[in-house]
Structure 1
Amino acid sequence: MDDILIDLAITLAKIFFVLGVTVGFFAPILTWVERKQSAIMQDRIGANRADIMGFTALGLFHIMADGLKMFTKEDFIPQGANKFLHTLSPIIALIPAILTFAVVPFGGEYTLFGKEVKLVISDLDVGLLFVFAIASIATYGYVVAGWSSNNNYSLLGSMRTASQMVSYEVTMGLTIIGVLMVYGTMQLTEIGNAQENFLHWGIFLQPVGFFMFFAASIAENKRIPFDNPEAESELVAGYFTEYSGLKFGMFFMAEFIEMVTIAAIVTILFFGAWHIPFIGTATLLEIFDFLGETGSNLVVMFIHVGVFFAKVIFFLFVQMVIRWTLPRFRYDQIMKLGWKILLPLSLANVVVTGIVILALQ
C-alpha cells in the first residue's frame, strides 16, 4: 500500500512539474520572447509599455497585461455560429498539445531513497506513436473552429489548416522511420538512453531526417513561413478570426506549447536528449559519489533536467529566428514542398538507412 502511495505521489509530482514548465512557464514567457526577440532582430526596443510604478522589467509585465486582457475581454460568438462547437474547438486544440508531454522524458532513470525513478509521466513502449496520434487530434480543433464560426475567412483558414497539417504529418511520420530503424524502438526513454555516446546522437546518424522533421514540424504548427492558415494579409486571422478573450488565448497557448513539444521531440530524437557530450551518466555519478547514492543521483538528475531544457530553449530560439527571418510561402509552394520535395526525400532516407544498416550487419 505504501509503495502505491509513493508511486502515486511521484507521478503527481511529475505531472505538476510538466504542467508548471509548459503551461505555467514556457507558454506565457514565449509571448514575451516573440515580441522581444523580434524587436532585437529588427533593431527596436519592443515590449516596454506595460509597467508597475515605472518599472517595465524588460517588458515582462506584458505577460500579466495579456492575461488580464483575455480574462476581462468579451467572449463574442457571431450570429449563425454553432455555439457548442465554437466553444469546444479551442479546447480540442489545446488539450492534445499538453497531453503529448505525458510520454516525453525530461531526464533519465535515477535511484532516489532506494527507489528507481524515471523522469517521464508514462513510459509507453509506443511513446513516439502516442505523440503523433495525440498531436493529430488538434487538427480537428482548428477545422471545427473555422467551420463553426460562420465566417468565410475562418472556413478558408480551416481548410488550409486541414490540408497543410495532413500533408506534413505524412512527411513527419516517414522522417522518423529512419530514427526507429537506427535505435530499434519507439520508446522515447530508450531512444534517449541510446544517445549517451555523443557519436550516437540522432543528428549524426540521421542528419537528413533531422532537417526534414524540423521543417515538417514547423509546418505542422502553422508558424511562419508556413502560416498560411492564419495569413493576416489574406484571411484576417484565419480559423480564429471570430474568437476573442480566453478562447483566443487558448489557440495562442496551444501554438506556443506545440513549439515546446517540437523542441523537446527534436532534442530527444536528434540531440542527445538529457545527455552531456562526452560526459556519461556513470562519470557524473562517480564525480558526485561523495554525496552518497541518493545525493549523487539527485545532483545528476538536476544536471540532466537542466541540460534537457537548455537544449529545448535553444530550439525554441531557433524557431523564433526562423519565424522573424523568412517570408511566408505561397500556399501552392507549401504543398509543393510537402508532397514533391520532402515526401520523396523522406522515402529515400528510409531506403538509404535500410541499405546502410544491412551493409553494417
Structure 2
Amino acid sequence: MSVLVPFAEVGFAESWWIQIIKAVVIFLVGFTLVPLALMLDRKLMGRMQMRYGPNRVGPYGALQPMADIGKLLFKQQFRPRTSVGFLFAFAPVISMICAAATFAIIPFGGTVDIFGTEVGLYGIDVSIGILFAFAFSGLSVYGLMLGGWASGSKYSFLGAMRSAAQLISYELAMGFSILGIVITAGTLSLTGIVEAQSGMWYIVPQFVGFCIYIVSAFAETGRPPFDLSEAEAELVGGYSTEYGGGRFATYYAAEYFHMVIASAIAVTMFLGGWQLPFVDPPTWVDPIVVLVKTVLVICVFVWARTTFPRPRYDQLMALGWKILLPLATANVIVTAIIVVVTD
C-alpha cells in the first residue's frame, strides 16, 4: 500500500547558524569517510587475495591512506603543453563538488532535539529528494569530460568519451530501479522514504530493483569491473592519464566519495536507512546504524572488484541497454500495477 508522506512533515526551516554547523559537519564526515573507504578497500581486498594489504604506516597500516594523499598533495603540479590550463585544473574540482553536494541530502536520522532546538540529522531535506542526487550525478559527467578534453591527449579524450557514454547509459537503469520505490513510498523525500520502511525494508519487495541499482552503481562510480573509462591495459589511465599530484588526488578521492554516496543511497532507498527490524533504538544510534550499513554495502563493492573480470566495452554497454534497462522498466510497470490494485 502506498504511504504518502508530505514534505511538510519531514522538512522544516532551520536557523542559519544550524545550517552552517551542519555544512561543516557534512564536510568533515564526508571527507573522513573517503580515507576510511580507501583503507577498507585495500585491506579487505588484500584479505580476499590472501595477502596483508597495507600494514606499515601507523597501527595495522591505518595511516596509509593519509600517507598516500600527502604524497600526492606535495608532488609538483604539472600539465601538458597542449592542455587548456583553467579547465584542466577545474575539472577535478567539479567531480568533488558534485559528490559533496549529493552527500548533503543523505539522511542519518530524523529530527532530534538538541539543547531545545529541533535539528534534522541530514544536510537538507528537499522535496525533490532523489532527483537532487541524480541532478548532481549528471553534472559530475562534466568533470570527467572536461578533464579528458582539456588534457590535450587522445588517450584522455577517449577515456572521457567512454565515461560520458557509460554514465549516461547506466544512469537510466539506475533511475528506473529507484522509480519503483518512489511509486511505493508515494514521496521523493529521502527521509519520507526511510520512514515508509518502518514496517518492511524495500529490499524485500524491490529486490530486482536493488540488484539493478547495485550493478548500475558499479558503472556510475567507475569501480571495477566496470572501470572501462580508466582501463590501464587499453587507455593507460583514461581521462586522468595526464593528471598527477593534487589534481589526481582530487579525482581519486572523488571516485571513493561517489562510492560512499552510492552505498549510502542504497541504504536509504532499499535497506531502511536508520531503521532496524524488531528494534526501536534511541535516536543517537541512528547515524551509527546508517554508517554501519553503508560500510557493509561498500564491502560489496570491494568483493565485486576482487571477483569479477573486466568485460569488453561493448559487453558493458549491452548489459546496460539490453538487459538492465528493460528489466528495470518491467520492474516499474509491475510495481505500479501492484500499487494501483492494492491501494
TM range (shorter): over 0.9
Give the structure 1 partner of residue 315 of structure 2: 333
Question: 1:292 — aligned with what?
Answer: none
Shift of 1:340: 0.2
Is residue 148–residue 239 contact of structure 2 (8 Å, CA) maintained in 1? yes
- Which runs of structure 2 are paired with 1:292-303 in the superposition (5 Å)? 300-303=282-285
In the alignment, what sits opposite 2:332? 350
**2 CA distance for matches of 1:26 and 1:91?**
18
Counterpart of 2:195 in structure 1: which amino acid? N
1:198-277 matches, cutoff 5 A:
199=200, 201-277=201-277
Letter in structure 2 aligned against 1:121? G
Structure 2 residue 112 is the aligned partner of structure 1 residue 98: no
- 1:1-361 paired onto structure 2 within 5 Å: 7-23=15-31, 25-50=32-57, 56-197=58-199, 199=200, 201-280=201-280, 284=281, 300-361=282-343
State percent identity of aligned pairs: 40
Offset, 1:303: 0.7
Equivalent position amino acid for 1:8 in 2: W
| CA 76–213 in structure 1, closer or farther in 2 if over 3 Å, else same | same
Which range moved further: 90-99 or 68-77? 68-77
Contact preservation (8 Å) 2:41, 2:299: no
Deviations 1:170-201 (A, max 9, x none): 1111111111100011111100111122x2x1
Q: Which amino acid aligns with 1:346?
A: A
Shift of 1:345: 0.4
SS at match of 1:48: coil
CA displacement 1:257-289 (0-9 Å, x = unmatched): 111101110001000110111123xxx4xxxxx
CA distance in 2, matches of 1:32, 1:304: 24
What is the root-mean-square deviation of aligned Cα atoms in Å? 1.5
Q: Distance in 2 between matches of 1:64 and 1:101?
A: 22
Amino acid aligned to 1:215: V
- TM-superposed CA distance for 1:6, in Å, is 7.7
SS in structure 2 at match of 1:229: helix
Is the partner of 1:117 in helix, strand or coil?
Answer: strand
Per the normalisation by structure 1, the TM-score is 0.89
Q: Shift in Å at residue 99 of structure 1? A: 0.5
Greater relative contact order: 1 or 2 (C-alpha under 8 angstroms, separation 6 or more)?
2
SS where residue 196 of structure 1 aligns? coil
Looking at structure 2, the residues matched to 114 and 79 of structure 1 have their Cα atoms a distance apart, in angstroms, of 58
Instruction: State TM-score, norm by structure 2.
Output: 0.93
Report what 2:10 is aligned to: none
CA distance in 2: counterparts of 1:115 and 1:64, whole angstroms: 36
Distance 2:155 2:116 in 1: 59
- In 1, the alpha carbon distance for the partners of 2:267 and 2:93 equals 27
Which 5+ residue runs of structure 1 have no aligned equivalent?
A: 51-55, 285-299
2:37–2:260: 8 Å Cα contact kept in structure 1?
no
Residue type of the partner of 2:155?
A: Y
Secondary structure in 2 matching 1:110: strand
- Matched residue, 2:3: none
Alpha-carbon distance in 1 for matches of 2:311, 2:239: 18
CA–CA separation in structure 1 for the residues paired with 2:64 and 2:113: 42
Name the structure where helix makes up a greater proportion of residues.
1
The offset of 1:34, in angstroms, is 2.1
Gaps of 5+ in 2: 1-12
> Over residues 22-74 of structure 1, what are the superposed CA-to-partner deviations in whole Å (9 max), with x where a residue is unaligned?
11x21112222222112111111221343xxxxx4111232232122112111
Q: Give the letter for the 1:323 counterpart.
A: R
Task: Give the Cα–Cα distance (whole angstroms) in 1 for the partners of residues 271 and 37 of structure 2.
Answer: 22
In the TM superposition, what whole-angstrom CA distance separates every residue of 1:317-341 from its partner, at most 9, and x where no partner exists? 1111111211111101110000000
Structure whose CA Rg is larger:
1
| Distance in 2 of aligned mates of 1:161 and 1:109 | 38
Deviation track 1:80-134 (CA, whole Å, cap 9, x = no partner) reads: 1111110010011111001002221111122334433211121111011110001
Q: Which amino acid aligns with 2:268?
A: I
